[in-house]
Amino acid sequence: MPIFGTSILSFIPGWTAEGGSFAIQKTAEYGFDMLEISLPASLDFDAKGTKRQLNQYEIQGRLSLNLPAACHIPLYPENALALITKAIDKVGEMNGDFLGGVLHSAIGTFTGKQCTADEKLIVRQVFTELAAYAKKQNVTLGIEPINRYESYVFTAAHEVLQMIEEISTNNIGLHLDTFHMNIEERNFYDPIIAAGERLKHIHITESDRGMTGEGNVHWNDFFKALGEIDYQGPLVLENFSSEIAALVGPTSLWRPSKYSSEELAKGSLIFMKEMVAKWYNVTQPN
């Protein structure tokens, strides 16, 4: 059975000690098993204290990181290496085993050209070093491809999978997000089958960032594939409500949301559980 999780973005726009306590309480109250914590770029984060709070409410925690502009790997590989290394240390302080997110590039940083062979080499070299460092702490890295309007480095699953093969390591995996898949992938089935056991983390979000099941994501194809590979990792809700005013600009919520953040969280959790029950109980052909 997959782990049903949600992101701090269901409750707060970014991590603070006070906001984090609120997000942890709500995660437990709404019935989720796990909270994904997006680390601030400053890495001002009390990992040990947060772990104690998570344990208090009997929920799991996972960390993710989105690179800031000054750590865009093709331009600033040393900055990125230093920041991600410190983030891996935070995972270790939480006794965790995973760091996901947009680790390959800074969201919104572009050159106006396709990712060059030299840039790909730089990215690969950085992740080769990061994989070796993370392995010492038994940490797996999950790389999230995002859509072409937010990055030019990794925009589709096969690009990440190709790099994993080139590095030939077992502690780098794929972090998929259905919002970005809806833009960049030809379908919702093939990338999951291609990833197989290399799929380590998933963001569940509708095509319009609203209530799951009410948009254009082909959920039956998606969960059918998850059932076929017997994915047991986290399914992390990442939809947004304009009710949280600080999210409006960063997530381009230019129209008022139909649902409150609570309605989105509770309704989407029900939807995820229904889809898992539907597709994980199907007997697969030999």
Q: What percent of the chain has pLDDT over 90?
A: 95
Residue 286 has pLDDT above 80, yes or no: no
Out of 22-31, 94-103, 109-118, 273-282, pick the least confident: 273-282
Q: Give pLDDT tens digits for 25-41.
A: 999 999 999 999 999 99
**Whole-angstrom Cα distance, residue 241 to residue 99?**
25
Q: Please give the pLDDT value at position 283.
A: 47
The alpha carbon of 273 is separated from its chain's Cα centroid by a whole number of angstroms, namely 19
- 35 with 60: CB under 8 angstroms? yes
Residues 226, 1 contacting (CB under 8 angstroms): no
**Whole-number mean pLDDT of the chain?**
96
**Interatomic CA distance for residues 259 and 254, integer angstroms:** 14
pLDDT at 285 (0 to 100): 44
Question: Does the annotation mark 144 as catalytic?
Answer: yes
**How far is it, in rounded angstroms, from Cα 211 to Cα 266?**
10
**Amino acid symbol at 175:** H
| Residue matched to tokens 């947004």 | 240
**How much is the pLDDT for 282?**
59
190-206 average pLDDT score: 98
Q: Catalytic residue, from 36, 119, 144, 184: name it.
A: 144
Rounded mean pLDDT of 238-266? 92
Q: Is 238 a catalytic residue?
A: yes
Report DSSP state, residue 67: B
| 3-class DSSP assignment, residue 40 | coil
**91-128 burial: b if 16+ Cβ within 10 Å, else e:** bbbbebebbbbbbbbbeebeeeeebeeebbebbeebbe
Quickly state the pLDDT bin for 250 (edges 50, 70, 90).
Answer: confident
For residue 173, what is the DSSP state?
A: E
For residue range 127-172, what is the model confidence (pLDDT) as tens digits? 999 999 999 999 999 999 999 999 999 999 999 999 999 999 999 9
Q: What's the rounded Cα separation, in Å, for the pair 20 and 52?
A: 12
Which domains does the chain possess? 3-279 (3.20.20.150)
**b/e string for 227-245 if b means 16 or more Cβ within 10 A?**
bbeebebbbbbbbbbbbbe
pLDDT tens-digit readout, 218-249? 999 999 999 999 999 999 999 999 999 988 99
Residue 284 has pLDDT above 50, yes or no: no
Cross-strand pairs, 60:
34
Res. 281 pLDDT band, cuts 50 70 90: confident
